């Protein structure tokens, strides 16, 4: 599979109802917030985790689509697979002195692990497999408007030990957002894709993952999360035809009723507009959903 030859940027909109899209462990697992604006935040790491999980489900067992960064994986063992496949003896914390073999190791990791060739990886551990800069980068997602987290009391009627049978029910806390619409920006570099082998098939898989990101990630903590819109800008040239920020400015998200005083509670409270008439030369736009 040949690497992609076009640069892309995209705007991704998703929302949450009565859930916590990304808890902050430094704040008692409260939904992440920008303290100056009270806008909700979701980290790039959280979205990448969901992309990895989707790919692992769709491509389970398929050659070339293993996931490097997964729960309870031992990274040194992942690297050892490359050494074993290429019949190279690992040397502690060092790549092979032969530069061709070192490049071959890193290329093997890119070929066999989807997230390495997509997002890149620092694989300079005790079993050194090199370092890769991936073609896909994601920014933090921010809510379109400020959000107000709710703290809800919950109870557990069961107990862990028999000695606790006569005790009162255990109380707990749950943090949710009644509603929030989030906007995330993403970048796909054709020139970096050349180095990792990120292909058109991989790109199509990325769009499918973003489309179905939350369909296989349901949990009580996340409430109801939904992918709402994916707007993709495609450049004719591998290096691009326009700066990313110029394209992002073409997408506006506003309230249907700008004078509405009630907080938004559904995606239908917003309208999404894409200024297609003033796109820079050499840039086209499409919406996978």
Average pLDDT of the segment spanning 8-19: 97
Q: What is the pLDDT of residue 157?
A: 76
Q: Which residues pair with 187 in a beta bridge?
A: 9, 137
Q: By mean pLDDT, which of 28-42, 163-177, 189-203, 204-218 is the weakest?
A: 163-177
Beta-carbon count within 10 A of 86 CB: 13
Residue pLDDT, tens place only, 70-113: 988 899 999 999 999 999 999 999 999 999 999 999 999 999 99
Angstrom CA distances, 164 to 85, 159, 169, 171, stand at: 54, 6, 10, 14
Predicted pLDDT at 138:
98
In angstroms, rounded to a whole number, what is the distance separating the alpha carbons of residues 114 and 213? 16
Q: Are 219 and 225 in contact (CB under 8 A)?
A: no
Question: 40 φ, ψ to 5°?
Answer: -75, 150
Q: Which pLDDT belongs to residue 208?
A: 98
pLDDT in tens, 14-73: 999 999 999 999 988 899 999 999 999 999 999 999 999 999 999 999 999 999 999 888
pTM for this model (two decimals): 0.94
Does residue 173 carry a pLDDT above 90? no
- The string of DSSP letters for 111-126 reads HHBHHHHHHEEEEESS
For 79, 87, 89, 90, the CA distances from 95, given in Å and listed in that order, are: 11, 14, 10, 8
What pLDDT score does 168 carry? 66
pLDDT tens figures, 212-246: 999 999 998 888 999 999 999 999 999 999 999 99
Beta-strand (E) ranges in 104-246? 120-124, 128-133, 136-138, 141-146, 150-156, 170-188, 224-235
Q: For 23, phi and psi rounded to 5 degrees?
A: -70, 150
| Average pLDDT, integer, range 167-190 | 89
Query: Which run of H or of E encompasses 11?
Result: strand 8-19
64: left (phi over 0), alpha (psi -120 to 50) or beta: left
The proportion of the chain whose per-residue pLDDT surpasses 70, expressed as a percent, equals 99
Pick from 123, 119, 121, 122: which is nearest to 135 by CA? 119
Q: What is the pLDDT of residues 144-165, one digit of tens each?
A: 999 999 988 888 777 778 777 7
Q: Which residues are CB-neighbours of 288 under 8 A, at least 6 positions away?
A: 207, 210, 211, 230, 232
Burial tier of 217 (Cβ tally within 10 Å: 0-12, 13-18, 19+): middle
């Amino acid at each position: 599979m040949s690497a992609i030859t076009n640069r892309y940027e995209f705007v991704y909109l998703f929302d949450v109802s009565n859930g916590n899209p990304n808890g902050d462990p430094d704040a008692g697992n409260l939904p992440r917030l920008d303290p100056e604006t009270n806008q909700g935040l979701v980290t790039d790491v959280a979205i990448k985790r969901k992309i990895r999980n989707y790919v692992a489900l769709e491509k389970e067992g398929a050659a070339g689509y293993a996931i490097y960064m997964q729960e309870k994986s031992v990274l040194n063992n992942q690297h050892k697979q490359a050494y074993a496949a290429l019949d190279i003896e690992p040397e502690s914390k060092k790549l092979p002195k032969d530069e061709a073999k070192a490049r071959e190791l890193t290329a093997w990791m890119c070929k066999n692990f989807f997230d390495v060739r997509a997002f890149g990886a620092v694989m300079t551990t005790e079993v050194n497999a090199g370092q890769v800069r991936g073609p896909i980068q994601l920014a933090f997602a921010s809510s379109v408007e400020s959000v107000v987290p709710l703290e809800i009391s919950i109870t557990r009627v069961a107990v862990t030990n028999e000695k606790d049978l006569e005790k009162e029910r255990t109380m707990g806390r749950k943090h949710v957002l009644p509603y929030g619409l989030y906007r995330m920006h993403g970048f796909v570099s054709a020139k970096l894709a050349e180095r990792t082998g990120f292909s058109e098939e991989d790109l199509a898989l990325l769009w499918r993952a973003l489309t179905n990101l939350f369909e296989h990630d349901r949990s009580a903590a996340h409430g109801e999360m939904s992918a709402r819109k994916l707007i993709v800008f495609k450049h004719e040239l591998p290096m691009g035809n326009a700066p990313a920020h110029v394209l992002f400015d073409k997408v506006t998200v506003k309230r249907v009723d700008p004078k509405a005083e009630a907080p938004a509670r559904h995606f239908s409270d917003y309208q999404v507009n894409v200024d297609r008439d003033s796109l820079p030369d050499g840039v086209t736009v499409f919406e996978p959903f």
